[in-house]
Amino acid sequence: MANIHYLKRSHNEAVIKVYVTDSAGDTIDVALSDLAASGETFDAGTASVTIKEIFWGTKNNKHIDISRWDGASAHGHYYLINAGSHEYTGFVDNVYSDRDIRIIGDGEFHCIVKLTKESGYS
């Protein structure tokens, strides 16, 4: 089973938690439009979302692949193994920031991702 929870959806920021309980793993797609806060307007033509922090946990020697998904191919991969966290201090990765987010795990995992909504939301 795969799930996504929107822990925070504010004007400038979104925090999502995704998890998979199937030992075979799964793929979870997060559309940028789903990050809009209540009452916020989403503009796909100008939307840009950057990853600010990542917290993750997997079973031993399993991995998570976080990438940007354009509907046909994945770009900008982050490969995460076991458990940990990372905060982008001093810079943000804005390459492919206009594309949806795809999270793939090869086993059970959880992942919390803090996102900054740069543009496309008003």
In tens, the pLDDT along 29-47 reads 999 999 999 999 999 999 9
* Residue 30: predicted pLDDT: 96
Question: Cα separation of 54 and 90, whole Å?
Answer: 15
Q: Where are the domains of the chain?
A: 2-119
Cα 33 to Cα 18, 83, 84: the distances in Å are 17, 28, 28
Is the per-residue pLDDT at 24 higher than 80?
A: yes
Q: pTM (2 decimals)?
A: 0.92
Q: Is 59 helix (H, G, I), strand (E, B) or coil?
A: coil
CATH fold for the domain made of 2-119: Jelly Rolls (2.60.120)
State pLDDT tens for residues 72-121. 999 989 999 999 999 988 777 788 999 999 999 999 999 999 999 999 99
